[in-house]
Amino acid sequence: MHGKTIREFGEINLPMSRSSRGGRMAANASNSEESQEAKTEYYVAQRYSTATLLRVVIHTGRTHQIRVHMFQLQHPVVGDTLYPVKKTGKAFPKPPRLLLHSARLAFTDLAGERKEFALPMPPDMTAFVAQLKKA
């Protein structure tokens, strides 16, 4: 995500609904009828001069949940064009894409069987993180 979080850990409990301005999703402090519960936890994995690598756990599965919650914190996901960072004036390498990666996915399927999947960080993200380390 862009910038540096103040805390090493955070929890975001902001309901989400469609924005009244366009098709984007929005986090709402007020719990309107259209809003759905959305809970996200984040943990700092690594800090860099202009960005922070986070491990994020979602407890609900809302459309764009991570993107919306990080944008609400004013630390959008690197490479996000729908929920972009405001101009900061700081030098920042151009990301190859939206830098979200599901390193681990776990769920219980309809038969009651626990399923878990894990993948390493993709090469394009690894290369981008290497650029951040040099900055």
Q: 29 or 51, which is more confident?
A: 51
CATH number at residue 130: 3.30.2350.10
Does residue 34 lie in a domain region?
yes
Question: What pLDDT digit, counting tens, does each position of 39-87 carry?
Answer: 999 999 999 988 999 999 999 989 899 999 999 888 999 999 888 877 6
CA nearest 73: which of 90, 52, 103? 52
CA nearest 14: which of 58, 45, 51, 52? 58
Cα gap 10→50, rounded to integer Å: 19
DSSP string, 67-125: HHHHHHTT-PPTT-SSSPPPP--S--PPPSS------EEEEE-TTS-EEEEE-PPPHHH
Does residue 1 lie in a domain region?
no
* Cα-to-chain-centroid distance, residue 32: 23
How confident is the model over 82-99, as a mean pLDDT?
80
Question: Domain span at residue 130?
Answer: 9-134
In percent, the amount of the chain with pLDDT more than 70 equals: 89
Does residue 111 lie in a domain region?
yes
Does residue 122 lie in a domain region?
yes
Q: How many domains are contained in the chain?
A: 1
Q: Write down the pLDDT at residue 47.
A: 94
Does residue 2 lie in a domain region?
no
Residue 121 per-residue DSSP state:
P
Does residue 4 lie in a domain region?
no
Cα gap 94→92, rounded to integer Å: 6
Does residue 68 lie in a domain region?
yes
pTM, to two decimals: 0.86
Average pLDDT score over the chain? 88
Does residue 97 lie in a domain region?
yes
